[in-house]
Amino acid sequence: MKYFKSFLGLFGVLCLILLYSQGCDSHNKDDFFSKNKHHEMVTFNSEENVLQLVLVSNGKTILTGNLGVALPSVLKQPTKETCAPGGKDCWFEWGDFARLHVTAPETQDDNDNCVTVEWYSDYGRKLEDCFDLTEGVHWYGGAETKVQSWPIENVAREEAPYVTGDFLQPVQFGGVLETYWLTSSGAALHVDEATPLFTSWNTTHKDKFCIAAADRWPYEERKNVRLQYEVCIPKSGENFKDVHKRSLRKYYKLPTQIPDAKMLVY
C-alpha cells in the first residue's frame, strides 16, 4: 500500500512535468506542424509499406503515387529523412542503397508550382515510381504508338524502354516521343532526358502509370542509376490547359525557322 501511494505521488509529479513542458514548448509545436505539412506531400504508409506522393493544388488532389516501388522489399521504409525548415526540401535515404530528393515551391504560386523528384542509387539497378490512374482523370502526351489512343490510359502498355523504334514490333514506340505527359487533373510530368527511362501503364502495376530508370538494354551501363523528373501543378486560378501552356514553354523551344524541305521528302 505504501509503495502504491508513493507510486501515485510520483505519477502525479510526472504528469505535472509533462503538462508544464507541453504548455511551454511552442518550438516543438512548430516543428510538428511543419513536419505535417511536408508529410502531405511525401509520407510513408506503413500499412502498404510504401512511400506515397500526394500533390495538392487549389484544394484538389492533382496527382498521387507510390515512390520507390522497385526498391528491395526490406528497404521500403527510409532509414533517414532530412527536411529543411518548412518541409519543402527533403532528402530520404535508404542506407547507402538509394537517396531521394524531393523539393516543392514555398507556396503554390512560387517557381511555376513545380515539384522536383530526384533519385540516386549506386547499387539499385532499377528505380521506379508509379502514379495512380484515377477514375475520371485522363492522361495525354507521350509517344507515337501503333494503336494511338486518346487519352492514353485506354490502352495498357507493358514495360518498355522509352525510346523511338518501330511501332509495328511488340512494345516498341514509333518515331516521335517526348518525355512529357499531362493529366486532366492538371499535372504536367516531365522526365529529365538523361534518365534511362522505361514506362508502363496498367500492366505490371494495375491502375498505375509507371516511370522507371534502369541501366539495361538499350541503355548503357552506368555507375549510378538516376531517375529525375518534375511535376508542375496548377497555381491559384489555373486550369490544366494553363499548366500545359507554361510547361511546354519551360521544357521545349518553339521552332525559330521553317524546317528544311528535305525533311519532308520521303
Binding footprint of ligand NAG on the chain (CB under 6 A): 133, 153, 156, 202, 207
**Grid coordinates of 152:** 492514353
Whole-angstrom distance, CA of residue 25 vs CA of residue 30? 9
**Residue 209: CB minimum distance to ligand NAG, A:** 9
**Residue 134: CB minimum distance to ligand NAG, A:** 8
Residue number, 156 or 163, with CB nearest to ligand NAG: 156
Residue number, 100 or 152, with CB nearest to ligand NAG: 152
Whole-angstrom distance, CA of residue 56 vs CA of residue 208? 18
**Residue 207: CB minimum distance to ligand NAG, A:** 5
For the chain, the C-alpha Rg in angstroms (whole number) is 23
**Grid coordinates of 94:** 535508404
**Residue 53: CB minimum distance to ligand NAG, A:** 18
Residue number, 157 or 244, with CB nearest to ligand NAG: 157
> Which pairing describes strands 98-103 and 89-94: parallel, antiparallel, or unpaired?
antiparallel
Q: Which residue's Cβ lies closest to ligand NAG?
A: 133
**Residue 170: CB minimum distance to ligand NAG, A:** 18
**Residue 63: CB minimum distance to ligand NAG, A:** 14
Residue number, 54 or 156, with CB nearest to ligand NAG: 156
Residue number, 92 or 139, with CB nearest to ligand NAG: 139
For residue 12, which phi and psi values (nearest 5 degrees)? -60, -45
Query: Which residues does residue 210 pair with via DSSP β-bridges, in sequence order?
Result: 130, 200
**Residue 68: CB minimum distance to ligand NAG, A:** 22
Residue number, 159 or 207, with CB nearest to ligand NAG: 207
In the chain, beta strands by DSSP E: 42-45, 50-57, 60-67, 80-83, 89-94, 98-103, 114-121, 126-132, 139-143, 157-161, 177-183, 188-191, 197-201, 208-214, 225-232
Whole-angstrom distance, CA of residue 52 vs CA of residue 40? 9
**Grid coordinates of 29:** 509545436
Residue number, 50 or 133, with CB nearest to ligand NAG: 133
Name the residue among 226, 227, 240, 235 with its Cα closest to residue 181: 240
